[in-house]
């Protein structure tokens, strides 16, 4: 593993005991590195599978307890908004996992680990942590919860940022279309802005949203369009 001593030090600072080091070594090994060292290592894909399942279970439990009035569909949407690539990649960066990832020489020369790999590595790391603590699931639960306390408390803002991509997927399921977000009104002071934005598909207005920023207003416009389903 790259920077193995630094990894162990970082984990110790977080009060985490590493028992089976080989699990984490595998969790930080990308398939491109394995392909260059075929007989020397395993990549993280199997651990990613386990980590993904652990995250779905635990985040599902957290939001089930936090939001007793949500129905099953709302719970699924909430979990999908929380357990998504951008968020998991940010957790990787928070833990400094990019310092330990092993990739091919070509990828390493770029000097940057893509967010998709950071996302996958976080899931693999959770898989490794789960297997390393399989007799103490409470410890695993507490560790995962430490990352999701703030996102769950503010899940609406996480969910909002997903409306545009959901809308794009919805309208483009039968082919490419032109999606525009048009500012209808901008008012307020620099410290207290107010935007009204309309979303149009092939020139047809489908939804309108308001917000304190263009991004938030665009998300609300996409949300309204999705809810209306008038395409």
Positive/negative CA dihedral, 89, 96, 101, 127: negative
123 belongs to an annotated ligand binding site: yes
CA distance 148 to 83: 9
141 annotated ligand-binding residue: no
Has 36 been annotated as catalytic? Answer: no
52 included as an active-site residue = yes
CA distance 161 to 157: 7
Interatomic CA distance for residues 46 and 69, integer angstroms? 35
5 is in an annotated binding site: no
Torsion angle in degrees (nearest 10) through CA of 58, 63, 69, 70: -90
What residues form DSSP beta bridges with 29? 102
Asked if 42 contacts 29 with a C-beta cutoff of 8 angstroms, the reply is: yes
CB 70 within 8 A of CB 156: no
What is the 8-class DSSP label of residue 102?
B
Catalytic residue among 123, 132, 162, 218: 123
Q: Which of 45, 52, 108, 115 is catalytic?
A: 52
The half-sphere exposure of 6 on its side-chain side, counting CA atoms within 13 A, is 10
Specify binding-site residues for Mg(2+): 48, 120, 123
Annotated active-site positions, please?
52, 123
């Amino acid at each position: 593993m790259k920077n193995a001593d630094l990894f162990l030090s970082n984990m110790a600072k977080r009060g985490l005991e590493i028992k089976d080091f080989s699990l984490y070594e595998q969790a930080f090994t990308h398939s491109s590195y394995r392909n260059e060292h075929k007989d020397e290592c395993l990549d993280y894909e199997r651990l990613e599978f386990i980590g993904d399942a652990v995250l779905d279970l635990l985040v599902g439990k957290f939001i089930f307890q936090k939001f007793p009035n949500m129905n099953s569909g709302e719970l699924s949407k909430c979990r999908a908004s929380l357990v998504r690539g951008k968020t998991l990649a940010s957790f990787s960066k928070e833990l400094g996992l990019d310092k330990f990832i092993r990739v091919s020489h070509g990828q390493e020369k770029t000097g940057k680990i893509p967010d998709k790999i950071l996302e996958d590595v976080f899931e693999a790391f959770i898989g490794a942590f789960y297997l390393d603590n399989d007799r103490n699931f409470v410890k695993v639960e507490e560790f995962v919860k430490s990352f999701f306390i703030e996102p769950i408390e503010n899940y609406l803002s996480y969910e909002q940022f997903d409306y545009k991509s959901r809308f794009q997927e919805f309208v483009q399921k039968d082919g490419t279309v032109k999606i525009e977000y048009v500012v209808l009104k901008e008012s307020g002071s620099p410290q207290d802005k107010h935007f009204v934005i309309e979303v149009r598909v092939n020139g047809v207005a489908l939804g309108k949203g308001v917000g304190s920023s263009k991004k938030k207003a665009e998300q609300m416009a996409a949300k309204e369009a999705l809810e209306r389903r008038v395409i």
